[in-house]
Amino acid sequence: MRPARAFLAVLAALSPLWLAAASTLIRFDREPLAQEHVVVPGRIVSNLLLVEGTVAGAGPYYFLIDTGSSITLVSDRIATAGPAVRTTPALVPVQVVSAAGGATMLGSTTLPSLELGSTRFANVRAVVYDFVDFSNHLGITVDGIIGFPVFRDLLLTLDYPRHRIVLSPRFPARAIAGTALPFALEDGTRPIVNVELGDKVFMALLDSGSDLAFTLDATGLNPRFKAGPRTGPVVTTLSGNAPRQIGRLADPLLLGGCEVREPRVMLTDQLSTVGAEILRHFTLTFDQHRSQVILAPERDSAVKLPAQRTTGLSFARLPAEWRVLQVLDDAPTATQQIEPGDAIVGINGEPIVKWNLDRFDQHLRSADTVDYLFRRDNRSYLVRVPVYDLVP
């Protein structure tokens, strides 16, 4: 869920972190945090960082922390949880624009409070959204997306390596270790930074709400490809399903002094984004008051994303089955007998309910084949399909 795009200039040259002696730096991975830092444990599902929270004391609920969203969204379950939370149908519905540019109208509500650990946010405006498909896709019940503006009055640290967020005072007693990268707020709501690709500098959104690695509006950039581009799997957005061109770039992507070597990319006609598949290799602290994000890499070496592997199918994941949305045109012959609309009810001899998204993706990294149990016209049949590199 994204707001309408706006073209704006990003702050000029990348600035270094303010000078400080090593002993005065906060390293989230090396030292205990002071009492004023609120640590909220989370979990990573399909690259996305989810945390538990409550609304007006009710819950807990799972929320996605989404720096790429200008608004907060909550499920019907939260909006109808009790008298403290009420929808406001009298208000003009809110237009929500997806990452693909499509728009829909959603009802709005005001949360009397949103609690993450001991941090309380009062009177949070939100829109009401049906998270059923999103939850089915991830294999976990998600009840909300917390937009970036909620954290305007404190420091938000997305600590991907330790699967947590840290909420800190706006003016910490000590500096935070890492490389500072200035950002501009698109429409005052979302962090846009300058990134480098080869000899080109352009704007990109830091989007923790996207499970992709890197999406690129290639207009005027003429990027060099090491592999591809080629037609990739269907991408599901608020405005529908559509295939995208994907590949691997030949040049590194630079975020300040941090390098992503030969990134995998999906081409788009919207604003370029750096998504959670790349961001998860860092600890990021967003300071909206100073308009900067501080990046601390998990390792000293450059990030290199593995090959994207596939069986040539895209799915809509449901609790009791995975529904085939797409069969890639150049999928192996064994896969071509599968048709869109077929229901997968088992994988490798186990019922589909035992396979969440992360387990399946991990299996693809090392497997040579996958045994799918399909159901079509009330008949079941087994198909063994090869696993191959979609993007080497």
Share of the chain above pLDDT 90, in %: 66
Q: Is the pLDDT of residue 98 over 80?
A: no
The two tokens of residue 8 are 């704006």
What are the DSSP calls for 219-266, one per residue?
TTT---EEEEEEEEEEEEETTEEEEEEEEEESSPEEETTEEEES-EEE
Give the mean pLDDT of the chain.
Answer: 86
Q: How far apart are CA 159 and CA 44, in angstroms?
A: 11
Alpha helix positions (H), 129-228: 132-138
Question: Computed over its alpha carbons, how large is the radius of gyration of the chain?
Answer: 21
pLDDT for the residue numbered 159? 97
pLDDT confidence of residue 6: 29
- H/E stretch holding 276: helix 276-279
- pLDDT tier at 65 (50, 70, 90 boundaries)? very high
Say if CB 105 and CB 97 are below 8 A apart.
no
Q: Is the pLDDT of residue 4 over 50?
A: no
**Is the pLDDT score of 12 beyond 50?**
no
Give 19-58 pLDDT, tens digit per residue. Answer: 333 335 788 887 788 878 999 999 999 999 999 999 999 9
| pLDDT tens sequence across 115-169 | 999 999 999 999 999 999 999 999 999 999 999 999 999 999 999 999 999 999 8
d(C-alpha 56, C-alpha 123), whole Å = 10
- Lowest mean pLDDT, pick from 176-180, 184-188, 281-285, 359-363: 184-188
Helix (H/G/I), strand (E/B), else coil: 376: strand
Query: Residue 361 phi/psi, 5° resolution?
Result: -65, -40
Tell me the C-alpha distance between 351 and 354, whole Å: 6
CA distance from start to end of the chain: 30
State the pLDDT confidence band at 10, using cuts at 50, 70 and 90: very low
172 pLDDT band, cuts 50/70/90, is: confident
| Per-residue pLDDT tens digits for 326-346 | 999 888 988 988 989 999 999
Instruction: Please check the confidence at residue 18 and state whether its pLDDT lies above 50.
Output: no
Least Cα distance to 134 among 238, 279, 274, 2 occurs for 238
Q: What is the pLDDT of residue 264?
A: 97
pLDDT digits (tens, 9 = 90+) for 226-255: 998 998 887 765 555 666 899 999 999 999
Q: Is the pLDDT of residue 14 over 60?
A: no
Q: Which residue has the higher pLDDT, 201 or 5?
A: 201
pTM score, whole prediction: 0.88
Predicted pLDDT at 19: 30
Q: How far apart are CA 155 and CA 137, in angstroms?
A: 30
Q: What local confidence, expressed as pLDDT, does residue 280 receive?
A: 97
* Domains defined along the chain, listed by start: 24-168 (2.40.70.10), 175-304 (2.40.70.10), 308-391 (2.30.42.10)
CB atoms within 10 A of CB 59: 18
> What pLDDT is recorded for position 85?
57
**Stretch 11-21: mean pLDDT, rounded?**
30
Cα–Cα dist 355/256, whole Å: 38
Confidence of residue 363 (pLDDT cuts 50, 70, 90): very high
Q: Which pLDDT band holds residue 15 (cuts at 50, 70, 90)?
A: very low
pLDDT at site 377: 82
